Amino acid sequence: MTSENIESIVNRRYEHGFVTDIETESLPPGLDEGVVRAISARKNEPEFMLEWRLQAYRQWLEMAEPEWAHLHYPPVKFNEISYYAAPKSDADRPKSLDEVDPKLLETYDKLGIPLHERARLAGVAVDAVFDSVSVATTFKDKLSEAGVIFCSFSEAVREHPELVKKYLGSVVPRRDNFYAALNSAVFSDGSFVYIPKGVRCPMELSTYFRINAANTGQFERTLIIADEGSHVSYLEGCTAPMRDENQLHAAVVELVALEGAEIKYSTVQNWYPGDENGVGGIYNFVTKRGDCRGANSKISWTQVETGSAITWKYPSCLLRGENSVGEFYSVAVANNMQQADTGTKMIHIGANTSSTIVSKGISAGKAQNAYRGLVKVMPQAHGARNHTQCDSLLIGKECGAHTFPYMEIKNPSARIEHEATTSKISADQLFYCRQRGISEEDAVNMIVNGFCKEVFKELPMEFAVEAQALLNVSLEGAVG
Amino acid sequence: MLEINNLKSRVGDSDILRGLSLSVNAGEVHAIMGPNGSGKSTLAQVIAGHEDYVVTGGDVQYQGKDLLDLKPEERAREGIFLGFQYPVEIPGVNNAYLLKAAVNAKRKHQGLGEVDAFEFLKLAREKMAALGMDPKFLNRGVNEGFSGGEKKRNEILQMAMLEPSLAILDETDSGLDIDALKAVAQGVNTLRGPDRAIILITHYQRLLDYIEPDFVHVLSEGRIIRSGDKTLALELEEKGYEWVREAASA
Ligand SMILES: Nc1ncnc2c1ncn2[C@@H]1O[C@H](COP(=O)(O)OP(=O)(O)O)[C@@H](O)[C@H]1O
Ligand SMILES: [Mg+2]
A211-218 average pLDDT score: 46
Q: What is the pLDDT of residue A22?
A: 34
Q: What is the pLDDT of residue A127?
A: 42
Is there a contact between B158 and A446 if contact means CB atoms under 8 Å apart? no
What whole-number distance in Å separates Cα of residue A218 and Cα of residue A224? 19
Q: What is the pLDDT of residue A14?
A: 23
In which band, very low, low, confident or very high, does the pLDDT at A123 lie, cut at 50, 70 and 90?
A: low
Q: Is B40 in the pocket of ligand 1 (CB under 6 A)?
A: yes
Residue range B165-177, pLDDT digits in tens: 999 999 998 888 8
Q: What is the pLDDT of residue A114?
A: 66
**Chain mean pLDDT for chain B:** 92
Q: Which of A:429-468 have CB within 8 Å of B?
A: 429, 431-440, 442, 446-447, 450-451, 453
What whole-number distance in Å separates Cα of residue B17 and Cα of residue A406? 54
A96 touches chain B (CB under 8 A): no
Contacts of B61 (CB under 8 A, 6+ apart): B2, B3, B5, B67
Q: What is the pLDDT of residue A89?
A: 55
In which band, very low, low, confident or very high, does the pLDDT at A132 lie, cut at 50, 70 and 90?
A: very low
A81-99 average pLDDT score: 65
B interface mutation test: which of A389, A422, A430, A432 has the most B CBs within 10 A?
A432
Per-residue pLDDT at A5 exceeds 70: no
Per-residue pLDDT at A229 exceeds 50: yes
Nearest to A332 by CA among A368, A282, A287: A368
What whole-number distance in Å separates Cα of residue A306 and Cα of residue A270? 5
Is there a contact between B73 and A432 if contact means CB atoms under 8 Å apart? no
Q: What is the pLDDT of residue A10?
A: 33
In which band, very low, low, confident or very high, does the pLDDT at A43 lie, cut at 50, 70 and 90?
A: confident
Which long-range contacts (C-beta less than 8 Å, at least 24 apart) are formed by B207-212?
Answer: B207/B172, B207/B173, B207/B181, B208/B31, B208/B233, B210/B181, B210/B182, B210/B185, B210/B186, B211/B29, B211/B185, B212/B29
Q: What is the pLDDT of residue A217?
A: 53
Per-residue pLDDT at A236 exceeds 90: no
Per-residue pLDDT at A25 exceeds 90: no
In which band, very low, low, confident or very high, does the pLDDT at A211 lie, cut at 50, 70 and 90?
A: very low
Least distant ligand from the CA of B241? 1
Residue range A285-331, pLDDT digits in tens: 889 999 999 999 999 999 988 877 777 889 999 999 999 999 999 99
B94-110 average pLDDT score: 94
Residue range A355-386, pLDDT digits in tens: 999 999 999 888 888 899 999 999 999 999 99
Per-residue pLDDT at A20 exceeds 50: no
What whole-number distance in Å separates Cα of residue A289 and Cα of residue A169? 11
In which band, very low, low, confident or very high, does the pLDDT at A465 lie, cut at 50, 70 and 90?
A: confident
More confident residue, A120 or B116: B116
The total of other beta-carbon atoms located within 10 Å of residue A114's CB is 13
More confident residue, A256 or A210: A256
Per-residue pLDDT at A207 exceeds 50: no
A258-281 average pLDDT score: 81
Is there a contact between B102 and A436 if contact means CB atoms under 8 Å apart? yes
Q: What is the pLDDT of residue A470?
A: 77
SS3 A92: helix
B91 touches chain A (CB under 8 A): yes
What whole-number distance in Å separates Cα of residue A373 and Cα of residue A344? 5
What whole-number distance in Å separates Cα of residue A27 and Cα of residue B222? 77
Q: What is the pLDDT of residue A12?
A: 29
Is there a contact between B162 and A431 if contact means CB atoms under 8 Å apart? no
In which band, very low, low, confident or very high, does the pLDDT at A255 lie, cut at 50, 70 and 90?
A: very high
A242-248 average pLDDT score: 61
Q: Is B36 in the pocket of ligand 1 (CB under 6 A)?
A: yes
**Nearest CA to CA, how far is B117 from chain A (Å)?**
17
- A351 residue type, one letter: A
Question: Which of A81-90, A323-332, B91-100, B133-142 is modeled with the greatest confidence?
Answer: A323-332
* Ligand 1 nearest atom to the CA of residue B12, by list position: 4
Q: Atom 7 in ligand 1: which residue has the minimum CA distance? A: B11
Question: Which of A61-65, B59-63, B184-188, B239-243 is modeled with the greatest confidence?
Answer: B59-63
Lowest-confidence segment of A20-34, A185-199, A248-262, B11-25 by average pLDDT = A20-34
Per-residue pLDDT at A480 exceeds 70: no
Lowest-confidence segment of A90-99, A121-130, A424-433 by average pLDDT = A121-130
Per-residue pLDDT at A104 exceeds 90: no
Q: What is the pLDDT of residue A134?
A: 46
What whole-number distance in Å separates Cα of residue A386 and Cα of residue A380? 16
Q: What is the pLDDT of residue A113?
A: 67
Cα of B175 to ligand 2 centre, how many Å? 13
Q: What is the pLDDT of residue A66?
A: 78
Q: What is the pLDDT of residue A124?
A: 56
Q: What is the pLDDT of residue A235?
A: 84
Calculate the CA B39 to chain-centre distance.
14
Q: What is the pLDDT of residue A245?
A: 56
In which band, very low, low, confident or very high, does the pLDDT at A259 lie, cut at 50, 70 and 90?
A: very high
In which band, very low, low, confident or very high, does the pLDDT at A220 lie, cut at 50, 70 and 90?
A: confident
In which band, very low, low, confident or very high, does the pLDDT at A244 lie, cut at 50, 70 and 90?
A: low
A170-192 average pLDDT score: 92
Which member of B71, B84, B101 has the closest CB to residue A432?
B84
In which band, very low, low, confident or very high, does the pLDDT at B46 lie, cut at 50, 70 and 90?
A: very high
